[in-house]
Structure 1
Amino acid sequence: MEIIPAIDLLGGKVVRLYKGDFNQVTEYPDSPVTVASRYNSAGIKSLHVVDLDGARSGTPAHLDLITEITSTVGMAVQVGGGIRQIEQARAIIAAGAERVVVGSTAAKDPDTVIGWFGELGPDCVVVGVDVTIDGDSDPVVQTHGWTESSDQTLWSLMDKFMAAGAYNFLCTDISKDGTLEGPNMELYAECTRRYPKARVIASGGLSSAAEFPALAATGVTSVVTGKALLDGRLTIAEIEQFLQSA
């Protein structure tokens, strides 16, 4: 299981939201490039960047900053937030990203995103699936920076994209994101049980390295961590120790 640090961008700064709420923002003092360089220097191979302004507005807002990050570090960078059209995906990849994470458009207009595979290839597209869970009901996909519900469940959306040849999925339980309450292990175990050929990236709630073994046991390919790493609840040394022992 790969550990992928996250950098969330809002107004050009590194931030974290609590449960996706734009009214509950924590700002961090270091610049995005400084944070990315720190992870790169530690030997971490991948980076997850979220353009929160883009997610909310529908138009990527940090292309210059993303270009600066990708040109500074030697990491495989995946970028999400506000990617609604293939031209925007092209621009993100031209800025140096290896993959684009497409959420709202994937949920609202999956056939359009599936059409991108012909040009970009399925490996360059990560289907971002942000969900809310109400009791025993199927997880419901949220869109537009988690401000709107879609008519898709996690399973209906994954069914459609898997049938079209997609295999990269970033799955976030919104109720866990930014809370440090621990990941939704049951959700990820069910994802990999239903879709054993999918590359599932877990996101939301990671609080410490102690959760790595249980998360790896769910079968996810990787986990994105933001707040735990930024707040010092998780250290680079602990990531290295886990990867060496895995």
Structure 2
Amino acid sequence: MIFPAIDLMDGGCVRLLKGDFGQRTNYDLDPVKVAQGYAASGAEWVHVVDLDGAKNGQSSQTELIIEIAKDAGLKVQTGGGLRELSQLHRLINGGIERCVIGSLAVTNPQMVKFWLSELGPEKIVIALDINIDKDGVPRPATKGWTEASPQSLWSILDLYAGSGLKTILVTDIGRDGVQSGSNVELYEQIMADYPTLDLITSGGVGTLKHVKELKMLNPHGIIIGKALYEGNFTVEQAIKC
């Protein structure tokens, strides 16, 4: 399934290069209209990131995200700065289908496990945004990708065994926004080692060839952001390829 992405800062659409807030591209696009366009092209979901919230640790654009959910005719999964259960309730009650938990999934897994039990696994996606270290080990980054975790991706996933966790989103930060292809080998390993988890891939897609390579793995979802903004291909083409 294709998940077109909308990254928000200051109420507008942006993209970062490798998660660097200093390498930001602004797009003169209305987020609601962008989402409506994705729906018209055949998308069923949209992935919305509150980058202000991710950077500052406090969700900043809840009302805009709820507006997207109400007006676009798409299922919305969203994250960025979600730190309190009340924030998740506000989003879900506003029509958001799934909440994406990033930093807290690494720094406070016990709390996230509680949220899973309270809301149900269908309402939560754990986002693990990773850098590959010099030894080839994938390690999650936290606080809007500004801090590194000493733990590996594998140790974090193992922490959630038996928690009911259903869906994970994994981004290779080094490939995000670069459009040079995704880390297919990493995703293949995740799916082999954790077959009960639904994997959503993110980072690196720049061409339809890249989409096809990921589709061969048959993940739960493929997030595409900058390639759509830049007009490399359309959502409809990505769905059909």
The one-letter amino acid paired with 1:81 is G
> 2: CA distance between counterparts of 1:29 and 1:162?
43
> 2: CA distance between counterparts of 1:240 and 1:148?
34
SS in 2 for 1:162: coil
The one-letter amino acid paired with 2:86 is E
> 2: CA distance between counterparts of 1:101 and 1:84?
11
User: Partner of 2:55 in structure 1?
Assistant: 56
The one-letter amino acid paired with 1:164 is S
User: How many residue pairs were aligned?
Assistant: 241
What is the CA deviation profile of residues 127-173 of structure 1, one whole-angstrom value per residue up to 9, with x for unaligned ones?
Answer: 00000002443211100100011232111111112331102000000
Gaps of 5+ in 2: none
- Over the matched positions of the two proteins, sequence identity in percent amounts to 42
Could you tell me how far 1:5 is from its partner in structure 2? 0.2
Alignment of 1:80-159 (within 5 A): 80-159=79-158
User: Partner of 2:67 in structure 1?
Assistant: 68
The one-letter amino acid paired with 1:235 is T
User: Partner of 1:203 in structure 2?
Assistant: 202
> 1: CA distance between counterparts of 2:193 and 2:135?
17
What TM-score results when the alignment is normalised by the length of structure 2? 0.97
The one-letter amino acid paired with 2:36 is S
Contact 1:189 1:219 in 2 (8 A): no
User: Partner of 2:32 in structure 1?
Assistant: 33
User: Partner of 2:176 in structure 1?
Assistant: 177
User: Partner of 1:23 in structure 2?
Assistant: 22
Could you tell me how far 1:219 is from its partner in structure 2? 3.7
SS in 1 for 2:76: strand
The one-letter amino acid paired with 2:131 is T
The one-letter amino acid paired with 1:210 is K
Could you tell me how far 1:216 is from its partner in structure 2? 1.9
> 2: CA distance between counterparts of 1:159 and 1:219?
22
SS in 2 for 1:229: helix
The one-letter amino acid paired with 1:188 is Y
The one-letter amino acid paired with 1:106 is A
What is the CA deviation profile of residues 165-195 of structure 1, one whole-angstrom value per residue up to 9, with x for unaligned ones?
Answer: 1020000000000111110011100110101
What TM-score results when the alignment is normalised by the length of structure 1? 0.95
User: Partner of 2:161 in structure 1?
Assistant: 162
User: Partner of 1:44 in structure 2?
Assistant: 43
Q: Which 4+ runs in 1 deviate beyond 6 A?
A: none
Contact 1:63 1:95 in 2 (8 A): no
Could you tell me how far 1:67 is from its partner in structure 2? 1.5
Contact 1:66 1:95 in 2 (8 A): no
Contact 2:33 2:72 in 1 (8 A): no
Contact 2:2 2:239 in 1 (8 A): no
SS in 2 for 1:132: strand
Does 2:11 correspond to 1:12?
A: yes
The one-letter amino acid paired with 1:17 is L
> 1: CA distance between counterparts of 2:139 and 2:146?
13
Does 2:217 correspond to 1:214?
A: no
Bigger shift: residues 112-121 or 135-144: 135-144
SS in 2 for 1:97: coil
Gaps of 5+ in 1: none
User: Partner of 1:77 in structure 2?
Assistant: 76
